[in-house]
Amino acid sequence: MKTVPAFLALAALALAGCESVSEKQDPLAQTVIDDANLNDLMLTAGDPGEAVNYFAAAVAREPDRVDFRRGYALSLARAKRYLESARIYGEMVSLGQATQEDRLDYAYVLVHLEKWDEVQTQLAAVPAGNDSSRHHLIRAMVADHNQDWAAADAAYEKARLRTTSPAPVLNNWGVSQMSRGDFDSAISTFEQALSYDARLFNAKNNLAIARGLKGDFSLPLVPMTDEEKAIILNNLGLIALRKGDERMARGLFAAAVDTHPRHYEAAAGRLAKLEAIVEN
């Protein structure tokens, strides 16, 4: 069930503006309050790789600090290093340090690893009264795995209603609908996701894929950068190829190559192979 902004400059700018840290101070020697502010900054605005390095150093320096351990697990998950993140969360659980939210974050990581029995174990440790959007979203994904579509829809709806940023929830819901072959519903759901966050590339890409699976290979009318257009055109070309429409696939791969701001090896390579087939 996963995109292109760079936050490194923002993080560097924000860190430079922290008045409590002089040029000679080690940021890890700050007060707990200052650490909490810096931790939040690294998790929300920092580059994922930079955040991993920051928290790894913090844990090495102060291994008993639960907030550093939690930040390390979260930053690893943001960097898509799910196996390592799961190991840290597992340690927190075994040490009795995991909160309800930690268990939900752990369950979300386990979903990415497709360790469904362990997901259920973590969910079972969260009180049924936990009404957070994350709790309902994970239950929706478990229902998807079990192909219990009614339960999935009910859980996605609860997750959508309990967050002020529903675009990612709606994107996941659309993927669920697409996996069932309900492309019309998926298209509508991806469009709803983009109405909340027009920058969400996954929703743009999934919207185009759902349309392509219905035979519509035109780009959806949503804002896109040239790089996003090229990636989506390439993905539409793959769908056309799998449908056996080589002429359409050649046109889409060629458009992807022409649109991408730099050399697009993936699309160029597929286009070359198709043109070689035609020439032979």
**Residues 1-30: what's their mean pLDDT?**
32
Number of domains in the chain: 1
The pLDDT tens digits of the residues spanning 204-219 come to: 999 999 999 999 999 9
**Residues 35-48: what's their mean pLDDT?**
64
Give the model's confidence band at 8: pLDDT under 50 very low, under 70 low, under 90 confident, else very high. very low
Range in 99-103, 119-123, 211-215, 270-274 the model is least confident about:
270-274
- Name residues whose C-beta falls within 8 Å of residue 120's C-beta, 6 or more positions apart in sequence: 142
**Residue 61 covered by a domain:** yes
| Residue numbers of the domain that contains 73 | 1-115
**Residue 223 covered by a domain:** no
Give the model's confidence band at 274: pLDDT under 50 very low, under 70 low, under 90 confident, else very high. confident
**Would the pLDDT of 279 be above 90?**
no
**Residue 68 covered by a domain:** yes
The pLDDT tens digits of the residues spanning 236-257 come to: 999 998 999 999 999 999 999 9
The pLDDT tens digits of the residues spanning 131-170 come to: 999 999 999 999 999 999 999 999 999 999 999 999 999 9
**Residue 156 covered by a domain:** no
**Would the pLDDT of 261 be above 90?**
no
Q: What is the pLDDT of residue 48?
A: 81
The larger pLDDT score, comparing residue 232 to residue 43, is at 232
Q: What is the pLDDT of residue 148?
A: 97
**Residue 153 covered by a domain:** no
Quickly count: other Cβ atoms within 10 Å of residue 179's Cβ.
14
Q: What is the pLDDT of residue 254?
A: 93
**Would the pLDDT of 173 be above 90?**
yes
**Residues 225-241: what's their mean pLDDT?**
94
Q: What is the pLDDT of residue 269?
A: 87
**Residues 224-228: what's their mean pLDDT?**
95
The pLDDT tens digits of the residues spanning 86-115 come to: 999 999 999 999 999 999 999 999 999 999
**Residue 71 covered by a domain:** yes
Q: What is the pLDDT of residue 35?
A: 55
How many percent of the chain have pLDDT more than 70? 82
Mean pLDDT of the chain: 84
**Residue 83 covered by a domain:** yes
The pLDDT tens digits of the residues spanning 46-90 come to: 678 888 898 899 999 999 899 999 999 999 999 999 999 999 999
Integer Rg of the chain from CA: 22
Q: What is the pLDDT of residue 33?
A: 37
Give the model's confidence band at 278: pLDDT under 50 very low, under 70 low, under 90 confident, else very high. low
Q: What is the CATH classification number for the domain harbouring 17?
A: 1.25.40
Q: What is the pLDDT of residue 139?
A: 96
**Residue 216 covered by a domain:** no
